[in-house]
Amino acid sequence: MGTMNISLPDPMKSWVEQQAKAGRYANSSDYVRDLIRRDRARSEAIEEIQAAVDIGLASGPATPLDRSTFKSRMRALHAEK
């Protein structure tokens, strides 16, 4: 495992230390690692959403929703499962 030294303003340093002392994290490093994991997961989720938006935009103009066709497709889809 690599080591990284970071500088934090005193209020941030105190916050990190408080989170570790509260018992949820073993130490400050665990807290920072958790923040990084959460940020990565958030970034990946945003990328997935953006990819879906891009696919939707590339699919062409929207067409009006035909309620009966939609219901039929949903029933067929659920019947397959």
Q: What is the pLDDT of residues 48-72, one digit of tens each?
A: 999 999 999 999 998 898 999 999 9
Smallest CA-to-CA distance from 4 within 43, 35, 33, 39 is with 33
pTM for the model: 0.70
- Position 53 in a domain: yes
Phi, psi of 79 (to 5 degrees): -70, -30
- Position 42 in a domain: yes
For 12-48, the pLDDT digits (tens) are 999 999 999 999 999 999 999 999 999 999 999 999 9
Structural domain containing residue 31: 8-59
- Position 77 in a domain: no
- Position 76 in a domain: no
Residue 18 in contact with residue 11, Cβ under 8 Å? no
| Number of independent structural domains in the chain | 1
- Position 67 in a domain: no
Burial letters 25-54, b for 16+ CB under 10 A, else e: beebeebbeeeeeeeeeeeeeeeeeeeeee
Residue 81 pLDDT > 80, yes or no? no
Strand residues in the chain grouped as ranges (E): none
